[in-house]
């Protein structure tokens, strides 16, 4: 009987240690890089992420189809609008935001690919324990999309995401220099010169489409 | 005068904190994954690395041009030979190893692309401080090769390497589950049934060529 109890306790202990699907902290500030396998898009962005207010600010420098671009965008999912901000000219472009807000999280139906240590576990500061999850999500138009997402075991901080649709091919997003919290909450409020901006129609193909990754 | 001394001290302090080209620990055991942008090669390997004896053991499972393969190889650079080991059949295939041994290190002429934290710096166990270096190396045949190499700030543990030659295109190697030291030193000694193996000629195109990455 004692052996059975011990066995059950050990089993529960082991099960409890299995990585769980998780949700990233609701407030995050950091940087990310995005690139596609087709080398069409490669970009670097600073982001401010607020899952409570469903707001994202992205200041993004990159190249899309060999043209460099800079975009400063504020995405207000609650209001369904997006601002493209130009501080230099103090102009603002207001557009409808048709995609839903997806909080940074590992979906409940994701399957665990594995747990590894990036770097080494032999000394302090030499390694990072991460879990990699994979799954499929239903897209509005593009059918199903495959993803592979790596987050830290402690804190569920995003490390990298691979995303595949037939339209985009493989898209790799790497997150770094993240801090929990908002470095500057004002980044999530439209600047004063955006008040008068009129809602414009959506244009065609736009490097912004990868925002739907969030 | 005091201000000048303070300025010099601060400058030296800052310079001292700039990441330096570094050499990885001479003994490492861990795993790695290799994939090419062209999706020709994708492989997973367990490696044992001994820079002192210039020996590498690789047990590698992957797919090359849509054919899966398993290779168990012992590379003895000091002797210029490589063993392909088949434990199941207790057979061994001895081949010349014409490439030089390159210790895992950031070359002196590499330039620092940047220092970032993978994950977050907001809590313990949430992040990993890494340095990314880039440069070019002269290849024996293929002209110059570009590389981008990320190692941990503490310990100079390899995290990932991007390598580009005109022949191979972009090759991405990710290192994980590394430990400093040899988990099993015997992995670096040819098994008994390899003693009688005769030196064979090199064959043509071989997924093993990426060993030259080391």
CB of B30 within 8 Å of any CB in chain A? yes
Query: Both tokens of residue B59?
Result: 């047990």
Extract the residue ranges of chain A whose pLDDT is less than 70. Answer: 1-16, 141-142, 202-214
Cβ-Cβ contacts under 8 Å, B30 against chain A:
120
Q: What confidence score (pLDDT) does residue A151 get?
A: 97
CB of B120 within 8 Å of any CB in chain A? yes
CB-nearest partner of A127 from B121, B126, B128: B128
The H-or-E segment that residue A175 falls in is strand A169-180
pLDDT (tens digit per residue) in B34-63: 988 777 889 999 999 999 999 999 999 999
Q: What confidence score (pLDDT) does residue B169 get?
A: 84
Cβ-Cβ contacts under 8 Å, A37 against chain B:
37
The nearest CA of chain A is from the CA of B181 a distance in Å of 9
The 10 Å CB-count burial string (b at 16+, else e) for A150-161 is bbbbbbbbbbbb
CB of A37 within 8 Å of any CB in chain B? yes
Query: Both tokens of residue A76?
Result: 């207000």
- Please report, for chain B, the start and end positions of each structural domain, with discontinuous segments joined by +: 27-213
Give the number of other Cβ atoms within 10 Å of residue B38's Cβ: 12
Q: How high is the ipTM of this complex?
A: 0.81
| Distance of alpha carbon B82 from alpha carbon B202, whole angstroms | 10
Q: What confidence score (pLDDT) does residue B27 get?
A: 97
Q: What confidence score (pLDDT) does residue A95 get?
A: 92
**Residue of A204, A206, A145 lying closest to A171 (CA atoms):** A145
pLDDT (tens digit per residue) in B85-100: 998 999 999 999 888 8
- A27-213: which CATH architecture? Clam (2.50)
CB of A38 within 8 Å of any CB in chain B? no
Q: What confidence score (pLDDT) does residue A142 get?
A: 58
| Distance of alpha carbon A155 from alpha carbon A133, whole angstroms | 15
pLDDT (tens digit per residue) in B128-175: 999 999 999 887 765 888 999 999 999 999 999 998 888 888 889 999
Q: What confidence score (pLDDT) does residue A166 get?
A: 84
In a mutagenesis test of the A interface, which of B35, B120, B174 is the best target, namely the one with the most A β-carbons within 10 Å?
B120
Q: Do A178 and B121 touch (CB under 8 A)?
A: yes
Cβ-Cβ contacts under 8 Å, A176 against chain B:
116-119
Q: Do B177 and A116 touch (CB under 8 A)?
A: yes
The nearest CA of chain B is from the CA of A178 a distance in Å of 4
Q: Do A120 and B157 touch (CB under 8 A)?
A: yes
Q: Do A125 and B129 touch (CB under 8 A)?
A: yes
Whether A100 contacts A87, CB under 8 Å: no
The H-or-E segment that residue B7 falls in is helix B2-17
Residue B196 clears pLDDT 60, i.e. is over it: yes
Q: Do A127 and B181 touch (CB under 8 A)?
A: no
The count of C-alpha atoms lying within 13 angstroms of the C-alpha of A55, restricted to the half-sphere facing its C-beta, is 18
Q: What confidence score (pLDDT) does residue A211 get?
A: 47
Residue of A nearest to B153 (CA): A126
Dihedral angle of Cα B51, B55, B58, B64, to the nearest 10 degrees: 90
pLDDT (tens digit per residue) in B10-34: 444 444 578 999 999 999 999 999 9
Cβ-Cβ contacts under 8 Å, B126 against chain A:
128, 152, 154-155, 157
Residue B4 clears pLDDT 60, i.e. is over it: no
Length of chain B: 214
Give the number of other Cβ atoms within 10 Å of residue B91's Cβ: 12
Average pLDDT over residues B58-75: 93
CB-nearest partner of B157 from A116, A119, A155: A119
Q: How confident is residue B199, by pLDDT bands cut at 50, 70 and 90? A: confident
Contacts of B35 (CB under 8 A, 6+ apart): B41, B42, B43, B171, B172
| Distance of alpha carbon A30 from alpha carbon A179, whole angstroms | 6
From start to end of B39-187, where are the E strands?
A: 41-50, 55-64, 67-76, 81-86, 91-96, 111-119, 127-138, 144-152, 158-165, 169-180
Within the 188-207 window of chain A, which residues sit less than 8 Å (CB to CB) from chain B? Answer: none
Residue of A nearest to B178 (CA): A120
Whether A156 contacts A22, CB under 8 Å: yes
Query: Both tokens of residue A192?
Result: 């004063």
Whether A54 contacts A101, CB under 8 Å: yes
Cβ-Cβ contacts under 8 Å, B116 against chain A:
31, 176-177
Cβ-Cβ contacts under 8 Å, B128 against chain A:
118-119, 125, 127-128
Cβ-Cβ contacts under 8 Å, A178 against chain B:
117, 119-122, 127
CB of B24 within 8 Å of any CB in chain A? no
Contacts of B55 (CB under 8 A, 6+ apart): B48, B49, B74, B75, B76, B77, B78, B188
CB-nearest partner of B125 from A119, A154, A176: A154
Q: What confidence score (pLDDT) does residue B203 get?
A: 57
CB of A181 within 8 Å of any CB in chain B? yes
What are the DSSP calls for A44-112, one per residue?
Answer: EEEEEEETTTTEEEEEEEEEETTEEEEEEEEEETTTTEEEEEETTTTEEEEEE--SPP--SB--TT-EE
pLDDT (tens digit per residue) in B99-121: 889 899 999 999 999 999 999 99
pLDDT (tens digit per residue) in A105-156: 999 999 999 999 999 999 999 999 999 999 998 877 658 889 999 999 999 9
Residue B121: strand pairing partners: none
Length of chain A: 214
């Amino acid at each position: 009987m004692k052996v059975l109890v011990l066995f059950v306790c050990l089993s529960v202990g082991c099960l409890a240690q299995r990585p769980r699907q998780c949700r990233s902290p609701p407030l995050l500030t950091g940087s990310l890089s995005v690139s596609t396998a087709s080398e069409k898009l490669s970009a670097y962005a600073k982001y401010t992420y607020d899952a409570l207010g469903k707001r994202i600010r992205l200041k993004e420098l990159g190249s899309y189809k060999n043209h460099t671009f800079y975009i400063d965008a504020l995405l207000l999912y609650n209001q369904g609008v997006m601002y493209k901000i130009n501080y230099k000219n103090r102009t603002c472009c207001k557009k409808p935001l048709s995609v839903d807000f997806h909080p940074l999280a590992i979906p409940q139906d994701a399957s665990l690919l594995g747990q590894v240590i990036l770097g080494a576990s032999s000394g302090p500061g030499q390694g990072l324990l991460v879990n990699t999850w994979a799954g499929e999500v239903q897209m509005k138009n593009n059918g199903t999309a495959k993803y592979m997402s790596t987050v830290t075991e402690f804190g569920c901080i995003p490390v990298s995401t691979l995303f595949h649709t037939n339209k985009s091919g493989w898209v790799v997003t790497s997150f770094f220099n993240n801090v929990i919290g908002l470095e500057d909450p004002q980044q999530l409020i439209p600047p004063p010169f955006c008040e008068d901006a009129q809602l414009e129609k959506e244009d065609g193909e736009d490097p912004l489409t990868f925002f739907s990754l969030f």
